[in-house]
Amino acid sequence: MQIHDLKATPHARKRKRIVGRGRGSGRGKTSGRGHGRKQNARAGRGILQSLEGGQVPLIRRLPKVGFRRRNPLVYQVIKVSDLTRFKEGSVVDAQTLKEKRMISSVFKPYKILGNGELKKKLTVHAYAFSKSATEKITQAGGKTEKIDQKIIKEKSAQGKK
């Protein structure tokens, strides 16, 4: 076999479509864009799918429902059973929880939930407690102290500077 005998396989070299070269070209006159002379016949993107002519758009016909805060208040969650890691009589606050890797950030609020059992006397500082968590901590002889939400905003503003 010699170089002049080489041939491409059928359909391997696809011919580029040439449009807009008159009626005899096979795609003449309107270049395959129909008989319109309007927006879709021109170059560019055409009409957007979301446009509905003079009709009121779908997004405006649907009723407004609900509300979502821009920065929602999301608590870091800790179970009462996780507090058994601490020694008897110790104070559990944001710093100690962070050291034990029970919360990801000291500046974000955290909540104690009543899952599990607690038999140690602890003083727990948190932004929120569930009813069952408060009962279990007080039954074990400990105390629950709620942290004011305004303090966290001041601390986070200082931490970001």
pLDDT in tens, 18-48: 888 988 888 888 888 888 788 888 888 888 8
Distances in Å between the Cα of 87 and the Cα atoms of 44, 112, 120, 123 are 71, 18, 8, 11
Q: With a cut of 70, which residues of the chain have pLDDT below it? A: 150-161
The residues with which 146 forms a beta bridge, in sequence order, are 126
Residue 152 φ then ψ, to 5°: -65, -35
C-alpha 135/C-alpha 127 separation (Å) is 16
Amino acid at 38: K
Query: What is the domain partition of the chain in residue ranges?
Result: 76-160
The whole-model pTM stands at 0.55
For the domain made up of 76-160, the CATH class stated in words is alpha beta
Tell me if 80 sits within 8 A of 112, measured CB to CB.
yes
